[in-house]
Structure 1
Amino acid sequence: MGVTVIEELPNNGFLKFKHDQLFQVRKQFNLEKPGRVQEAIKLLREWVDKQDYFNKKDFSDAYLEVLLITTKGSVERAKSRIDKLCTYRTIWPQYFTAIDINSFKENFKTFNSLILPDVTEDYTRINIFKLNSNVPLQADLILTYIKFSIIVCEYCKVHDYPSGFIIVLDYQDVNLLDLIAVLSPTQIQQMVSLYMEGYGMRIRGIHLVTTSKVSDALIKIMKQVLSKKIGDRIHVHRNYDSLHDFIPKKILPADLGGDAAPLSEMMENFLEELSTKEHMEYMRDIQQSTVDLKKKPKDSTIEEMAMTGSFRTLSVD
């Protein structure tokens, strides 16, 4: 069976790409040589076909290629990543129930979450999460956010081709104590596992925008579930000016001191993209990518991941 690789990155949708992005991102991960991507996809597909515990195996070549990008071209790591993501769908079904973004309309009064249309000069995609002012934070905030972000992650799997991600957490308009009060340590740990080990989000930086003195307490929580490498990439900004030292103003929304369109306009366009018939059909299909735990080789980490509340309770002094 032949392998079809991605030949171009179209600039006719919500996401925009630089003209040389496809080649340069492949080059970063040693996939630029002729035939290298095809070879890696072929090896990965052969492995998937042999795993009788996968409930779905017909992943597209493009899906597998983007998966390989997240593992820097490593087929072995790609095997582990697809295995974990399918397993997460099985043991944490509460996060994979959403398909239609219209079900989140009320939640968007509390937060805005989107990836920006344009990438940085090194092909990094910016992910923004902004909590809005004067809206009480509900106990199910993290659960709701994870469910929505799963839709976004799946969209990126078939439409994006970044070298990595930068996350911006804009908490300027909220009391961080209110946020910390609704955080679930277990959910945070599971969220990090989903993003890092499942979807392969290569985080190049986390930027927290807040004037609150409680930011140290929040960072303490974050560092307990992140690797030291990622934890060291957390930056706190008291205003948007210092954020611009890391992210070009020209691609940031006006609400964050940038020169691009307002966040509300970007969010509207992004939600329109996520609500297309094509994407919702894709979501229904990809959510069938689970595993049969009875057939899956024993793995001690599965039992640990499936436990709710196995993560220790965090206290903030």
Structure 2
Amino acid sequence: MGVTVIEELPKTGFLKFRHDQLFEVRKLFNLEKPGRVKEAIELLREWLEKQDHFNKTDFSDAYLELLLITTKGSVERAKSRFDKLCTYRTIWPHFFTAIDINSFKEDFKTFNSLVLPEVTEDYSRVNLFKINSNVPLQADLVLTYIKFSIIVCEYCKMHDYASGYIVVLDYQDVNLLDLLALLSPAQMQQMLNLYMEGYGMRIQGIHLVTTSKVSDTLIMLLKQVLSKKVGNRIHVHRNYESLYDFIPKKILPADYGGDAVPLSEMMEDFLQELSSKEHLEYMKETQSATVDLRKKPKDDEMAMTGSFRSLSVD
């Protein structure tokens, strides 16, 4: 059976793409030459078919192409990333239990989390997380957020064609001391390994919006689990205006002084997309994408204890 590469990015749907995004992102990762994407997919699929420790390998050509985009076109790194994500599903099953976003209705009173529809000039996608005001933080907030964010990551893994991700953490309306009390380096390490090593989120910048004087403590905690390179990409903003130096106003929600629709409307559209029949079926399918640990090569670099090195990014 022949390989089918992505010929055109969709013009409708929640995620928006620039007219030249398909070619330019491929060019960034040395995949623009005719036949290069097809060749890479063929090599990846050939490898997958030879691995007997994976419980699911029948992913589409489009899925494998988007996997290659997260590894800058490297087939070897795509193999490792696929293996890691399947292993995470196996050793951390409690993070992957959620499928239907309706189960988070009460949690959305506490936080909003979404990727913005439009990309930046360099084809990066913005991931915005905001904790709402006057809402007590529950002890299981971090676990709840991880479960929901995995649904978002799976959606992006199946549909997005971005050069990287910019993370905005809007903590203006929360007492950072309350939030810090819920965080642990071990859980943050697991969370970031999921995002960066499992889902291939290439972090171009982390923007913390807060007026709190204890923001340095949060940054110190983040730098414990991030490489120096990524840690140097953390920026603190006392207001939304300074965000415009990094993110175009035209793609930000109206609440942030941007030209897009308000955050509440954007979130409603995004949740509708995540609750579509297509996405729900896809989420059910991914739950079987695990590994048989008995068959997994013994020299695997990933320790089963959940202890990992600091996370880096290209």
Alignment of 1:1-317 (within 5 A): 1-298=1-298, 299=300, 301-305=302-306
* 1:217-239 CA-partner distances (Å, limit 9, x unpaired): 00000000111111000000001
* 1:18-47 CA-partner distances (Å, limit 9, x unpaired): 000000000000000000000000000000
Query: What is the alpha-carbon distance in structure 1 between the residues aligned to residue 31 and residue 304 of structure 2?
Result: 35
Query: Secondary structure of the residue that 1:244 maps to in structure 2?
Result: helix
Query: What is the alpha-carbon distance in structure 2 between the residues aligned to residue 101 and residue 165 of structure 1?
Result: 22
Query: Secondary structure of the residue that 2:208 maps to in structure 1?
Result: strand
Query: Secondary structure of the residue that 2:206 maps to in structure 1?
Result: strand
Q: Percent identity?
A: 80
Gaps of 5+ in 1: 312-317
Query: What is the alpha-carbon distance in structure 2 between the residues aligned to residue 147 and residue 218 of structure 1?
Result: 22
Q: Scaled by the length of structure 1, what TM-score is found?
A: 0.95
Query: Secondary structure of the residue that 2:281 maps to in structure 1?
Result: helix
* 1:253-300 CA-partner distances (Å, limit 9, x unpaired): 012221211000000000000000110000000111000000101136
Q: Which amino acid aligns with 1:302?
A: A
Query: Secondary structure of the residue that 1:187 maps to in structure 2?
Result: helix
Q: Which amino acid aligns with 1:188?
A: M
Query: Secondary structure of the residue that 2:167 maps to in structure 1?
Result: strand
Query: Secondary structure of the residue that 1:156 maps to in structure 2?
Result: helix
* 1:183-216 CA-partner distances (Å, limit 9, x unpaired): 1322110010001100000000000000000000
Q: Is the 8 A contact 1:142 1:184 kept in 2?
A: no
What is the aligned length?
Answer: 308
Q: Scaled by the length of structure 2, what TM-score is found?
A: 0.96
Query: Secondary structure of the residue that 1:182 maps to in structure 2?
Result: coil
Query: What is the alpha-carbon distance in structure 2 between the residues aligned to residue 232 and residue 284 of structure 1?
Result: 37
Query: What is the alpha-carbon distance in structure 2 between the residues aligned to residue 300 and residue 25 of structure 1?
Result: 30
Q: Is the 8 A contact 2:185 2:224 kept in 1?
A: no
Mean CA deviation greater in 264-273 or 251-260: 251-260
Query: What is the alpha-carbon distance in structure 2 between the residues aligned to residue 36 and residue 271 of structure 1?
Result: 35
Query: What is the alpha-carbon distance in structure 2 between the residues aligned to residue 82 and residue 227 of structure 1?
Result: 22
Q: Is the 8 A contact 1:54 1:290 kept in 2?
A: yes
Query: What is the alpha-carbon distance in structure 1 between the residues aligned to residue 302 and residue 12 of structure 2?
Result: 42
Q: Which runs of 4+ in 1 moved over 3 A?
A: none
* 1:70-119 CA-partner distances (Å, limit 9, x unpaired): 11100000000000000000000001000000000000000000000000
Q: Which amino acid aligns with 2:184?
A: S
* 1:133-181 CA-partner distances (Å, limit 9, x unpaired): 1101111111000000000010011111000000000000011000001
Q: Is the 8 A contact 1:252 1:259 kept in 2?
A: yes
**RMSD of Structure 2 on Structure 1 (CA):** 1.2
Query: What is the alpha-carbon distance in structure 1 between the residues aligned to residue 266 and residue 191 of structure 2?
Result: 25
Q: Is the 8 A contact 1:126 1:168 kept in 2?
A: yes
Gaps of 5+ in 2: 310-314
Query: What is the alpha-carbon distance in structure 2 between the residues aligned to residue 146 and residue 55 of structure 1?
Result: 23
Q: Which amino acid aligns with 2:270?
A: F
Q: Which amino acid aligns with 2:51?
A: Q
Query: What is the alpha-carbon distance in structure 2 between the residues aligned to residue 270 and residue 147 of structure 1?
Result: 16
Q: Is the 8 A contact 1:204 1:233 kept in 2?
A: yes
Query: Secondary structure of the residue that 1:151 maps to in structure 2?
Result: helix
* 1:33-68 CA-partner distances (Å, limit 9, x unpaired): 000000000000000110000000101100100010
Mean CA deviation greater in 249-258 or 12-21: 249-258
Query: Secondary structure of the residue that 1:284 maps to in structure 2?
Result: helix
Q: Which amino acid aligns with 1:301?
A: M
Q: Which amino acid aligns with 1:232?
A: N
Query: Secondary structure of the residue that 2:118 maps to in structure 1?
Result: coil
Q: Which amino acid aligns with 2:302?
A: T
Q: Which amino acid aligns with 1:289?
A: A
Shift in Å, 1:302: 2.9
| Structure 2 counterpart of 1:315 | none
Q: Which amino acid aligns with 1:70?
A: T
